[in-house]
Chain A
Amino acid sequence: MSRSPAVNMRARLRRYAAAVGLPVVFVVALFAAPLSVSAQTAPTDSFLGDAEAAELANELADAKEELDACFGWEVLINNSPVSIGSNGGPGVSVESLGTECVESAVLTVTLYYTSEADEANDSASYSLISNVSGAPSTSEMAAAADVSESSFLGENDDDALVRSMLVVPLLIGEVRSSSGEAIEFAVPETAAITDTVNGSPGNDVFRSLRMPIFGSLLFGALGGVLIGHLYKKSRNSL
């Protein structure tokens, strides 16, 4: 009994699949295993890192308790989201919190990276979309948090995001407090800790008056040279 050409073809394919499939499965498994391990350990927030994203979300959860408004952030790099979070947690957008958030403020940072050879054209912008009364403008945020668009392109871009996000509930709180709204703020007692403050951050006077001090020293040095020159000249003329 001879088999039809179609049956022969299927049998050949099965043999081929068996011959090629096993090694392929083995190779795929070999590469997939480390990938799945790295997927477990890699941070889910590639911009902030998981610990910092959780800390920021915790701060925003506290702010929500105090101000009864939702707060969130979103970072886009070349239009792809790389960091999202809110008072609902890291990875949780304000929109997904639904009716819990009648009032909300969402900070969006947009970064465009060009090729390494074209670093000068990297750009950043940020904006706050909010319906919370007393929400700050971006210029108010910049002044109060010491951030500018270029802060998001530097080495401390994560720090710039945290500062510019946390300054939002801070500034909303101060608008409410200055209008007479009672602010609950308990001054913490000193904690019994073994941790200590780091060594000196440098002399305050030198840090604050660096330019006047250098200016005076430069002026003094130039004055000294001039006086020396005049002295020498007057002696020579005698």
Chain B
Amino acid sequence: MRSNKLGYAAAIASVLFVVALIFSFRTNRVEKFISSKYLLVSRANARSAVYSSTKRASDVYKEIVKQWKPGSKRIDSQGWYLRYDNAIVVVTPFTGGSRIFVDDARTGYRRWYGHVGGYFGTYSGPAEGFRGGGPGAGK
């Protein structure tokens, strides 16, 4: 009798574990973590939001990737670009701290194309040689 109860308890626990796992897969996202941890500056629409932090950008970057490992990432002289399942997160230094930009993957790719084009997706832009520095140089 006792062993039957144990068996039932194990079966119920397994089902609960699987349900919790599925729920976690569906609701937990990097966007949720960022919105709960950093100050919302602006939200253009459901697809794009900007957050701020008084911490340095490198510290913010480390906090985010520690909690949510990106699928791929890129660094350039302006920031950290993180590719997630449904989002592109960009962390940049900003006066007094840092800014965190969160876009859905498609919007983010279009916004940050000049930085992540060819890394997170297709790239049909021109191959570029050295264009030189000095006054007037720019992207």
Contact = CB atoms under 8 A, between A and B. Distances in A.
Interface of A: 51, 54-55, 57-66, 87-90, 140, 143-146, 163, 166-167, 169-171, 173-178, 180-183, 185, 187-198, 200-209, 213, 216, 220, 223-224, 227, 230-231, 234-235
B130 A54 contact: yes
B137 A61 contact: yes
Contact of B76 (A65, A170, A223, A224): A170
24 contacts: A58-B131, A61-B131, A66-B77, A143-B58, A144-B61, A170-B57, A170-B79, A173-B78, A175-B56, A177-B96, A178-B56, A178-B96, A187-B50, A195-B113, A195-B122, A195-B125, A196-B122, A197-B109, A198-B120, A198-B122, A203-B85, A220-B13, A230-B3, A235-B3
B43 interface: no
Interface in B54-95: 56-58, 61-62, 67-73, 75-80, 83-86, 88, 92-95
B40 interface: no
Chain A's interface: helix, strand, loop or mixed, by majority?
Answer: helix
Contacts of A198: 120-122
Nearest to A189: B111
Contacts of B93: 170, 173-174, 176-178, 183, 185
Nearest to B70: A201
A171 B76 CA distance: 11
A237 to B, nearest CB: 10
Chain B's interface: helix, strand, loop or mixed, by majority?
Answer: mixed
A57 B114 CA distance: 16
A188 B111 CA distance: 6
A173 B96 contact: no
A143 B2 CA distance: 54
B133 A207 contact: no
Size band of the B side of the interface? 35 or more
Given A204-B28, A216-B17, 6 more contacts: A66-B77, A144-B75, A190-B111, A205-B25, A206-B25, A230-B6
Given A180-B95, A206-B25, A195 B124 contact: yes
A204 B85 contact: yes
A196 B109 contact: yes
Interface string B93-120: 1111111010001111111111001001
Contacts of B132: 61, 89
Contacts of A51: 127-129
B37 interface: no
A208 B71 contact: no
A143 to B, nearest CB: 7
Contacts of A235: 3
A44 to B, nearest CB: 11
B30 interface: yes
